[in-house]
């Protein structure tokens, strides 16, 4: 029997909500993506919270909020503890995206869903894979192999192939078949006939993708038009995903035109983003790595873009027209929101959206047609406490501190009681002693602290009050006290001291200003006020989402032609549209489950394994067809020494089988072939091929769809009895193998 496969969406079906799907393969639960959106509404994650603890592995596909935003929260609050698998860029850029999200939120609200530490710990245990790396799971997932493959869309973006016993489950969302400046196109087309394909229908209804060349010209024209009249251009972008493509376009254009207008890239993590991206060349398009190999030009050494990490730097920048790329793309938070509010009322300015805003966000509202004239915006900012508030706050803090100290001392007493109970193993103090000689700032034993801080504390277990006494019971031999050599070993770190002070912040690399912001513990509060913003600036939207459009989605799916297809992440309309299309022309098993609806996509494919005996194989003559070889076998089942099923030659003559013609006849190719043999040949009406004077050849029956998912071909050759007929029949036979 085949491998059992169940799919149940947790979020992001029949709408554009973030992505999270649970796929169970023979009982091993994969969480495919763990997304959230810019509104950070915990109710979205309810389905996830119910299953989080049963998840065995998390696979992430893209480094943006929609694909991994809920990871820190789920790890902290929902009991998700499975290992996470992602490519190196998804891990790194995903981490930076989450930092940026947190810092932008913290600036304007009392954001408490997760903290920077939660982000760090969530990303700490990500297992990083490279493209096409077959990673064999162990333990519960024994026998399952996972591998990320190029998805396009974002740097490091992956489609995941999960294989068990030769059966493939492919998870491909937000892929892009088109090659871009910094990314290669997806390799999804190279997967043929997987058992299950889980894919999105996001763009199924969107087919209006202009040629990238025209789009770029329009994009740059729009920007320069506004700059030339003295306006500013704001591009609300994501933190580390699609923005990279935009940066390259601008950078390239600026160096060609020698523009002097400044470009600013403003996020809380912009400089570290670009630093990391510079070292991710292996993950980018062939042309970028080629240009580096031959001329050592790193495409992300940006000469025209200034990286900024706080708004003050932008405000201090010389006045005059400028281009600013700032996060978040949704305008719900981040620098982009502030800048939008500042610039919206000047008609010379331009706000250029490069992607469809998330549902229910300010960006989406502004993108609606006709664009709104006024928008109501709640602006918040964090201000330090002052005056009475500050005093009140400090008092409160002091009170808390006192309580804390009181509690701590009580706990300590308890500990002391326990650690000096009657059956105390008294070699312990000795260990502490040796440690302290090496580790000056290290922790002293809890009991010592008691003495230093609280002075004399009578252990309640003692009969009479006394100072704590530790009996030195170290072992002695004829050479003196027995020492533990480990205590005196000079650690490796000591040699590497030059480097070690770098190791403090292993996971996240934060810019200095950001770090100070992070460490800023000055008491502060958030104040909000509502503004009515007059939108008089130009609003333009262009498609730089980097996803395949509807037509390509259809042809890609047709080419992959999975045995079973699961559709997710799209509006109800788009899902239904693609479902109908696929049912009609690609495969009979198309599913579009609802949230928390579990569908069983276990393949009804029967299969068993047999060994092919040498004796049988020596009689088989293969014929080569494309990249595979075919032959007919008649055999008998036997057993090998190791009791495995084995195919042996037939003892008696096999019953003759119905001959099979194998091959794929393309009328166009066959026409050329005939022409090369000197046969007069032309297409007559209705797809028929006229060969010579009398003979016609046509394909009949249901003509196959694109992609070869069709049944057997039916070819009809007809003509009067003549020499030509037999000649052409021979040519036709030569296109096939007869088995």
Partner 1 sequence: MATSLKRREQQPMSREGDQLIVTPLGAGNEVGRSCVYMSFRGKTILFDCGINPAYSGMAALPYFDEIDPSTIDVLLITHFHLDHAASLPYFLEKTTFKGRVFMTHATKAIYKLLLTDYVKVSKVSVEDMLFDEHDINKSMDKIEVIDFHQTVEVNGIKFWCYTAGHVLGAAMFMVDIAGVRILYTGDYSREEDRHLRAAELPQFSPDICIIESTSGVQLHQSRHIREKRFTDVIHSTVAQGGRVLIPAFALGRAQELLLILDEYWANHPDLHNIPIYYASPLAKKCMAVYQTYILSMNDRIRNQFANSNPFVFKHISALNSIDDFRDVGPSVVMASPGGLQSGFSRQLFDIWCSDKRNACIIPGYMVEGTLAKTIINEPKEVTLMNGLTAPLNMQVHYISFSAHADYAQTSTFLKELMPPNIILVHGEANEMMRLKQKLFTEFPDGNTRIMNPKNCESVEMYFNSEKMAKTIGRLAEKTPDVGDSVSGILVKKGFAYQIMAPDDLHVFSQLSTATVTQRITIPFSGAFGVITHRLGKIFESVESSTDEETGLPALKVHERVTVKQESEKHISLQWSSDPISDMVSDSIVALVLNISREVPKIVAEEEVAVKSEEENGKKVEKVIYALLVSLFGDVKLGENGKLVISVDGNVAHLDKESGDVEGEHEGLKERVRVAFHRIQSAVKPIPLSAE
Q: Which residue, 478 or 627, is less far from partner 1 as judged by CB?
A: 627
The residue (of 511 and 549) whose beta carbon lies closer to partner 1 is 511
Taking the complex as a whole, the smallest distance from the CB of residue 698 to partner 1 amounts, in Å, to 10
CA 564 distance to own-chain centroid: 23
Terminal C-alpha separation, the chain: 29
> Residue 615 contacts by C-beta under 8 Å, 6 or more apart in sequence?
648, 649
Least distance from C-beta 567 to partner 1, angstroms? 21
**Three-state DSSP class for 693?**
coil
User: What's the token pair of residue 615?
Assistant: 């004796």
CA 380 to CA 402: how far, in whole Å? 33
Is the CB of 302 or the CB of 535 nearer to partner 1? Answer: 302
Shortest gap between Cβ of 34 and partner 1 (angstroms)? 24
Comparing CA positions, the residue from 689, 693, 696, 695 lying closest to residue 668 is: 689
Tell me which H or E stretch contains 729: helix 723-733
Cα-based distances in Å from 596 to 3, 7, 393, 576, 592: 21, 9, 45, 18, 12
Q: Nearer Cβ to partner 1, position 76 or 559?
A: 559
Give least dist CB 665 to partner 1, A.
6
Q: Any idea what the Cα angle at residue 236 is, between residues 34 and 355, rounded to 5°?
A: 60
Q: Are 119 and 91 in contact (CB under 8 A)?
A: no
Report the residue number, 497 or 522, with the smaller CB distance to partner 1: 497
In terms of CB distance, is 478 or 512 closer to partner 1? 512
d(CA 72, CA 166): 34
Name the minimum Å distance from CB 95 to partner 1.
Answer: 12
Q: Least distance from C-beta 725 to partner 1, angstroms?
A: 6
Query: In terms of CB distance, is 411 or 612 closer to partner 1?
Result: 612
DSSP-derived letter for residue 153 is S
- Smallest distance, Å, CB 164 to partner 1? 14
Q: How far is the CB of 297 from partner 1 (least distance, A)?
A: 9
Measured distance CA(344)–CA(355) in Å, rounded: 19
Geometric angle at alpha carbon 442, from 437 and 447, rounded to 5°: 90
Kindly tell me which of 452 and 621 has the beta carbon lying closer to partner 1. 621
**CA torsion angle 424 429 430 432 (round to 10):** 140
Residue 295 beta carbon to partner 1: minimum distance, rounded to whole angstroms: 10
CB of residue 639 vs partner 1: minimum separation in angstroms?
6
Beta carbon nearer to partner 1, 278 or 376: 278
CA atoms within 13 A on the CB side of 728: 28
Q: Which is nearer to partner 1, 303 or 497 (CB)?
A: 497
User: What order do you get walking across the sheet with 681-683 strand by strand?
Assistant: 681-683, 689-691, 695-700
Q: What tokens appear for 62 in the block?
A: 């893209």
Comparison of 131 and 261: residue with beta carbon closer to partner 1: 131
- Cβ-based nearer residue to partner 1, 24 or 271: 271
The rounded distance, in Å, linking the Cα atoms of 82 and 30 is: 9
Contact 313, 339 (CB under 8 A): no
In angstroms, the Cα distances linking 241 to 89, 178, 577 are 10, 16, 29
- Least distance between partner 1 and beta carbon 664 (Å): 5
Nearest approach, Cβ of residue 289 and partner 1 (Å) = 6
Instruction: Give, in order, the Cα–Cα distances in Å from 36 to each of 52, 101, 266, 626, 707.
Output: 15, 11, 23, 45, 36
Whether the Cβ atoms of residue 176 and residue 183 lie closer than 8 Å to each other: yes
Decide: 649 and 659 in contact? Cβ < 8 Å: no
């Amino acid at each position: 029997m085949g491998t059992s496969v169940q799919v149940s969406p947790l979020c992001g079906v029949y709408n554009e909500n973030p992505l999270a799907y649970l796929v169970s393969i023979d009982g091993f639960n994969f969480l495919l993506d763990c997304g959230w959106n810019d509104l950070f509404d915990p109710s979205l994650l309810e389905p996830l919270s119910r299953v989080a603890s049963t998840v065995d592995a998390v696979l992430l596909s893209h480094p943006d909020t929609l694909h991994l935003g809920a990871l820190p929260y789920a790890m902290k609050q929902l009991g998700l503890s499975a290992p996470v698998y992602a490519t190196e860029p998804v891990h790194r850029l995903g981490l930076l995206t989450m930092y940026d999200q947190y810092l932008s939120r913290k600036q304007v609200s009392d954001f408490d869903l997760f903290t920077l530490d939660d982000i760090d710990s969530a990303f700490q245990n990500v297992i990083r894979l490279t493209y096409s790396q077959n990673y064999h799971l162990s333990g519960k997932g024994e026998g399952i192999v996972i591998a990320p493959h190029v998805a396009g869309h974002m740097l490091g973006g992956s489609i995941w192939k999960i294989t068990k016993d030769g059966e493939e489950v492919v998870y491909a969302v937000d892929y892009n078949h088109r090659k871009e400046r910094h990314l290669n196109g997806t390799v999804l087309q190279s997967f043929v006939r997987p058992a299950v394909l889980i894919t999105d229908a996001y763009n199924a209804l969107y087919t209006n993708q202009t040629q990238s060349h025209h789009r770029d010209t329009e994009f740059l024209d729009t920007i320069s038009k506004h700059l030339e009249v003295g306006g500013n251009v704001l591009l609300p972008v994501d933190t580390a995903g699609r923005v990279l493509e935009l940066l390259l376009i601008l950078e390239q254009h600026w160096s060609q035109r020698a523009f002097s207008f400044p470009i600013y890239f403003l996020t809380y993590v912009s400089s570290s983003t670009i630093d990391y991206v510079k070292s991710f060349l292996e993950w980018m398009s062939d042309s970028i790595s080629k240009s580096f190999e031959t001329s050592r030009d790193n495409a992300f050494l940006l000469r025209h873009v200034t990286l900024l990490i706080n708004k003050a730097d932008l405000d201090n920048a010389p006045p005059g027209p400028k281009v600013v790329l700032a996060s978040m793309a949704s305008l719900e938070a981040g620098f982009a929101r502030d800048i939008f509010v500042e610039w919206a009322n000047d008609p010379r300015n331009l706000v250029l959206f490069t992607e469809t805003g998330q549902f229910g966000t300010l960006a989406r509202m502004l993108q609606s047609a006709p664009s709104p004239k006024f928008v109501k915006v709640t602006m918040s900012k964090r201000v330090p406490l002052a005056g009475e508030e500050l005093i009140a706050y400090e008092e409160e803090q002091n009170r808390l501190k006192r309580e804390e100290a009181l509690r701590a001392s009580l706990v300590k007493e308890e500990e002391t009681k326990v650690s000096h109970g009657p059956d105390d193993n008294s070699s312990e103090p000795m260990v502490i002693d040796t440690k302290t000689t090496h580790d000056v700032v290290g922790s002293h034993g809890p009991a010592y602290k008691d003495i230093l801080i609280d002075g004399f504390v009578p252990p309640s277990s003692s009969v009479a009050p006394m100072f704590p006494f530790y009996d030195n019971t170290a072992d002695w031999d004829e050479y003196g006290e027995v020492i533990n050599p480990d205590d005196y070993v000079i650690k490796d770190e000591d040699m590497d001291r030059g480097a070690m002070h770098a190791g403090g912040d292993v996971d996240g690399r934060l810019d200095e200003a950001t770090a100070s912001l992070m460490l800023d513990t000055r008491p502060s509060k958030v104040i909000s006020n509502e503004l009515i913003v007059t939108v008089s600036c130009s609003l333009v939207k262009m498609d730089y989402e980097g996803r395949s459009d509807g037509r390509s989605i259809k042809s890609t799916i047709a080419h992959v032609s999975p045995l079973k297809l699961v559709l997710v992440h799209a509006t109800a309309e788009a899902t239904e549209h693609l479902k109908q299309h696929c049912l009609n022309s690609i495969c009979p098993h198309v599913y579009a489950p609802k949230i928390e609806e579990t569908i069983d996509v276990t393949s009804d494919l029967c299969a068993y394994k047999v060994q092919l005996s040498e004796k049988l194989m020596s009689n088989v003559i293969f014929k080569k067809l494309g990249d595979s070889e075919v032959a007919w076998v008649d055999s008998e089942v036997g057993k090998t020494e190791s009791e495995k099923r084995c195919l042996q030659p037939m003892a008696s003559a096999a019953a003759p089988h119905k001959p099979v013609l194998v091959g794929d006849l393309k009328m166009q190719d066959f026409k050329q072939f005939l022409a090369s043999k000197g046969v007069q040949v032309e297409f007559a009406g209705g797809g028929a091929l006229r060969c010579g004077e009398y003979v016609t050849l046509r394909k009949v029956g249901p003509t196959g769809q694109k992609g070869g998912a069709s049944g057997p071909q039916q070819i009809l050759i007809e003509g009067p009895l003549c020499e030509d007929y037999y000649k052409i029949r021979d040519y036709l036979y030569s296109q096939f193998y007869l088995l």
